[in-house]
Structure 1
Amino acid sequence: MEQQLLDRSENKCELCQSAVPVKLYEVLPQTSRTEDNCIMICDKCLGQVEKTEELDVKHLNCLRTSIWSAVPGVQVLTWRLLNRLKDESWATDCLDMMYMDDETLAWAKAGAEDEDSAVDDVHKDCNGALLEAGNSVVLIKTLDVKGSSLSAKLGTVVKNIRLVEDNTDQIEGKIEGQTIVILTKYVRKQS
């Protein structure tokens, strides 16, 4: 089946049409593996689909073309990604133009419900930039530390942050030798 899909896709990603190496991807949920519910996809698009990378609006402009695909699996992934980009006017326009039969739309929605129930474990700063353990951040507001007389001033650089695992709105960092919890909405990633 993989060879048939490579022939169908002309060895390109079926979402963005890039000629980088592609791999077989099964669009879930499904009962059996068929050509209709599997696609060839590049690593960049796969990261967007599986939420292992931050949504790249510039890259996902490719969805303007993939909405016209006749392959149900491509239609489903395109619909799901466009729904995650609803804040972008062009994505809403694409959703309005997109045609899917009732069965394919139900499949797309079923997978989207699964995506909604999955927690997006990504820490982001006040500008939406992805935060990772070890990053340095700058405070964008003076913060009074609860239970302490410490006041963390606007512009303070906090180096080597740690991510709070069960809460994507919080990070930990040291200020004046004291480890504190800081809300991500009050920090900007230092470049």
Structure 2
Amino acid sequence: MDGELIARSGGVCEFCGVAEGLEAVDVPPAGEVALCAACRGDETVGESHWRCLEGAAWSGVPAVQLAVWRKLGTLDADWAAEARAGMMLSDEVQGWTEAAAGVVHKDSNGAVLAQGDTVVLIKDLVVKGANFTAKRGTAVRGIALVSDNAAQIEGRVEGQRIVILTEFVKKR
């Protein structure tokens, strides 16, 4: 690892803060991050280890932001999806995430949607499995884009995280 990366990371893993076994990991196109063996995937760790990503998500380093965003997307846990959706990405990193997905999300009027936007429902939606109807005019704040499907977004309505079809929303 070069001295600049060691200085930036403070000599610790940029995900979990462990000082042993650090190596530089390339995160194209952002650069490199310093990660320990567990965070590189060289060691088997439990799901609780990845909770460190909730803190690392607040890094001001674009390479770390992108690496955290990508890792959170691989974890099959509600907290990981919520942490990813709540990340405040720099404009540069936001552009990389959208380009990597190759998917453009548009509302019912054709306006491009971005991570964190607020949308309004344009019709009543029956939410299957949750026993409620999301009413027309309901504002959904801080949406998350479904990376592999341009027709879907995720948002919280009445305390429930639900998938919403983009054809039923308009950007606020």
5 Å matches for 1:1-191? Answer: 2-28=2-28, 30=29, 37-47=31-41, 56-85=46-75, 87-110=76-99
- Counterpart of 2:55, as a letter, is T
Percentage of pairs with the same residue = 34
Q: Secondary structure at the match of 1:58?
A: helix
Equivalent-residue separation in structure 2 for 1:60 and 1:112 (angstroms): 23
What per-residue deviation string (whole Å, max 9, x for no partner) do you get for residues 156-190 of structure 1? Answer: xxxxxxxxxxxxxxxxxxxxxxxxxxxxxxxxxxx
Shift of 1:55: 7.2
- Counterpart of 2:33, as a letter, is I
What per-residue deviation string (whole Å, max 9, x for no partner) do you get for residues 105-163 of structure 1? Answer: 232355567xxxxxxxxxxxxxxxxxxxxxxxxxxxxxxxxxxxxxxxxxxxxxxxxxx
Q: Which ranges in structure 2 are unaligned for 5 or more consecutive residues?
A: 103-172
Equivalent-residue separation in structure 2 for 1:40 and 1:96 (angstroms): 24
Give the alignment's Cα RMSD to 1 decimal: 2.4
Equivalent-residue separation in structure 2 for 1:17 and 1:10 (angstroms): 9
Equivalent-residue separation in structure 2 for 1:57 and 1:105 (angstroms): 26
Are residues 112 and 53 of structure 1, via their aligned partners in 2, closer, same or farther at CA, if it must alter by over 3 Å?
farther
Shift of 1:90: 1.2
Equivalent-residue separation in structure 2 for 1:93 and 1:105 (angstroms): 17
Shift of 1:53: 6.3
Are residues 12 and 65 of structure 1, via their aligned partners in 2, closer, same or farther at CA, if it must alter by over 3 Å?
same
Shift of 1:21: 2.3
Pairs aligned (count): 102
Shift of 1:4: 1.3
- Counterpart of 2:13, as a letter, is C
TM-score when normalising by structure 1: 0.47
Are residues 55 and 44 of structure 1, via their aligned partners in 2, closer, same or farther at CA, if it must alter by over 3 Å?
closer
- Counterpart of 1:21, as a letter, is G
TM-score when normalising by structure 2: 0.52
Are residues 53 and 21 of structure 1, via their aligned partners in 2, closer, same or farther at CA, if it must alter by over 3 Å?
closer
Higher-Rg member (1/2): 1
